[in-house]
Chain A
Amino acid sequence: MGIIHVEVCAGTHCTMMGAMNILDAIHSLEELQHQMENPCDIRVEAVPCMNLCREQVHGPFVRVEGELISHAESESVMAAIMARCQCRNA
Chain B
Amino acid sequence: MRGLFTPITKIRRQVFTEVAKYAFERDLENSDFNYFYESSYRIIPGEVATYRDSVFKERAIIRERIRLALGLPLRTTTSHQPFTQGMDECATSEKKLDMPLVNVIPFACEACPTDRVQVSDNCRKCLAHPCTTVCPVNAVSIGKHAAIIDQDKCIKCGRCVEACPYQAILRFGRPCAQACGAKAIDSDDLGRAKINQDKCVSCGLCIVACPFAAIADKSEIFQLITAIRTGQKVFAAIAPSFVGQFGPLATPGKIVSGIKALGITRVIEVGWGADVGSLHEAEEFLRDVPDAKPFLGTSCCTSWALFARQTQPGLSHCIAQTHTPMVASAQKIKQEHPDAKVVFIGPCVAKKLEALDDEVRPYVDYVITFEELMGLFSARQIELSDLPETDLETQASRDGRTYAVAGGVAQAVVNVIKATDPGRDVPVTKADTLHECRKMLALAKAGKLNGHLLEGMACPGGCVGGPGTMSQIPRASSAVKAFAQASPYQTAGDNTLEALAP
Contact = CB atoms under 8 A, between A and B. Distances in A.
A13 B249 contact: no
Contact of A21 (B4, B17, B381): B4
B32 interface: no
A19 B246 CA distance: 10
B248 A23 contact: yes
Nearest to B4: A21
B13 A16 contact: yes
A24 B383 CA distance: 22
B378 A13 contact: yes
Nearest to B249: A10
Nearest to B246: A15
27 contacts: A10-B385, A11-B247, A11-B383, A11-B385, A12-B378, A12-B382, A12-B383, A13-B378, A15-B250, A15-B374, A16-B374, A16-B375, A16-B378, A17-B5, A17-B13, A18-B5, A18-B10, A19-B247, A20-B475, A21-B3, A21-B4, A21-B5, A21-B472, A24-B475, A49-B385, A49-B386, A74-B4
A11, A15, A22: most-surrounded residue (chain B CB, <10 A): A15
Given A20-B475, A48-B249, A12 B10 contact: no
Interface string B383-413: 1111000000000000000000000000000
Contact of B471 (A20, A49, A73): A20
A80 interface: no
Contacts of A68: none
B9 interface: yes
Interface of A: 10-13, 15-24, 46, 48-49, 73-74
A16 B383 CA distance: 11
B385 A48 contact: yes
Closest 3 CB pairs of A and B: A18-B5, A15-B247, A21-B5
A16 B17 contact: yes
Contact of A17 (B10, B377, B382): B10
A4 B249 CA distance: 21
Interface string B248-281: 1110000000000000000000000000000000
A37 B247 CA distance: 33
A12 B20 CA distance: 15
A87 to B, nearest CB: 27
A20 B10 contact: no
Interface string B349-392: 00000000000000000000000001101100111111000000
B470 interface: yes
Interface of B: 3-5, 9-10, 13, 17, 246-250, 374-375, 377-378, 381-386, 470-472, 475
Grouping DSSP codes into helix (H, G, I), strand (E, B) and loop, the A interface class, with mixed when no group exceeds half, is helix
Contacts of A48: 249, 383, 385-386
B247 A46 contact: yes
B45 to A, nearest CB: 12
A11 to B, nearest CB: 6
Contacts of B383: 11-12, 48-49
A24 B2 CA distance: 13
Contacts of B475: 20, 24
Contacts of B471: 20
Given A15-B470, A21-B5, 14 more contacts: A10-B247, A10-B250, A11-B247, A12-B374, A12-B377, A12-B384, A13-B381, A15-B374, A17-B10, A20-B248, A21-B3, A21-B4, A24-B475, A48-B385
A27 to B, nearest CB: 9
Nearest to B470: A20
Contacts of B375: 16
A89 to B, nearest CB: 29
A11, A19, A23: most-surrounded residue (chain B CB, <10 A): A11
A12, A20, A22, A23: most-surrounded residue (chain B CB, <10 A): A12
A46 B385 CA distance: 11
A48 B251 CA distance: 13
Nearest to A47: B249
Given A17-B10, A18-B9, A24 B247 contact: no
B78 to A, nearest CB: 36
A24 B377 CA distance: 22
A39 to B, nearest CB: 23
Contacts of A20: 247-248, 470-472, 475
